[in-house]
Structure 1
Amino acid sequence: MENRKIYDFHTHVKNLETIEKYYESNVIPVINCQNADEFNRISAMFEKIKDNRDFDEVIPFLSIGIHPQDSWKYKNDIGNIYEEIIKQVPLVGEVGMDGCWCDVSFDVQEKVFRKSLELAQKYNKAVILHTKSMEKRIYDIIKDYDLDFIVHWYSCKDYIKEFIEKGCYFTIGPAVLIDDNVRDLVKRAPIDRLLLETDGIEALEWLFEKNYRPEDIRPSLQAVCEEISLLRNMSEDEILQNLQKNSERLLKI
Structure 2
Amino acid sequence: MIGLIDAHSHATDAHFVWQQKELSIRSVINAENPTHLAELTRWQTPLISGGIHPWHTDTATTAMMTQLIAQTPVTGEIGLDTVWTKVPLATQLPWFKRQLDMADALQHPVIIHTKGAELLTAHLLQQHPGPFLIHWYSALTGLDQFLALPTYFSIGPDLMTDVAVQQVLRKVPLSRLLVESDGLESIYWATGQHQDYHETLLALYQQVAAVKHVSVSVVMKQLAINFEKFLHPVD
With normalisation by structure 1, the TM-score equals 0.88
CA distance in 2, matches of 1:106, 1:123: 26
Q: Which moved more, 1:166-175 or 1:125-134?
A: 166-175
Q: Is the 8 A contact 2:129 2:150 kept in 1?
A: no
CA distance in 1, matches of 2:157, 2:86: 27
Where do residues 1-253 of structure 1 align in structure 2 (5 Å cutoff)? 4-46=2-44, 60-74=46-60, 77-79=61-63, 81-212=64-195, 216-252=196-232
Distance in 1, Cα, partners of 2:65 & 2:163: 37
Q: Shift in Å at residue 239 of structure 1?
A: 0.9
Over the matched positions of the two proteins, sequence identity in percent amounts to: 27
Matched-pair contact (CA < 8 Å) for 1:183–1:231: no
Write the distance in 1 (CA, Å) between the matches of 2:71 and 2:87. Answer: 29
Structure 1: which 5+ runs fail to align?
Answer: 47-58
Per-residue CA deviations over 1:175-195 (Å, capped at 9, x if unaligned) read 212211111111111221111
C-alpha separation in 2, matches of 1:190 and 1:167: 13
Offset at 1:241? Answer: 0.6
User: Residue deviations 1:143-184, cap 9 Å, x none?
Assistant: 111111110110111111110111211011222122111111
Structure 2 regions of 5+ residues with no counterpart?
A: none
CA contact (8 A) 2:8 2:180 kept: yes
Give the aligned CA root-mean-square deviation in angstroms.
1.5
Contact 1:7 1:30 in 2 (8 A): no
Residue 84 (structure 1) shift? 4.0
Q: Tell me, in whole angstroms, the C-alpha distance in 2 between the residues paired with 1:119 and 1:7.
A: 27
SS in 2 for 1:177: coil
User: Which residue identity does 2:46 align to in structure 1?
Assistant: P
Q: Alpha-carbon deviation of 1:16?
A: 1.3
What are the superposed Cα offsets for residues 39-85 of structure 1, whole Å, 9 maximum, x if unpaired? 01110011xxxxxxxxxxxx6100011111100113xx422x53244
Alpha-carbon displacement from aligned partner over 1:197-234 (angstroms, at most 9, x marks no partner): 0000000111111224xxx2211111001001111111
CA distance in 1, matches of 2:52, 2:100: 11
Alpha-carbon distance in structure 1 between the residues aligned to 2:59 and 2:70: 21
Find runs of 4+ consecutive structure 1 residues off by over 6 angstroms: none
d(CA) in 1 for partners of 2:156, 2:213: 18
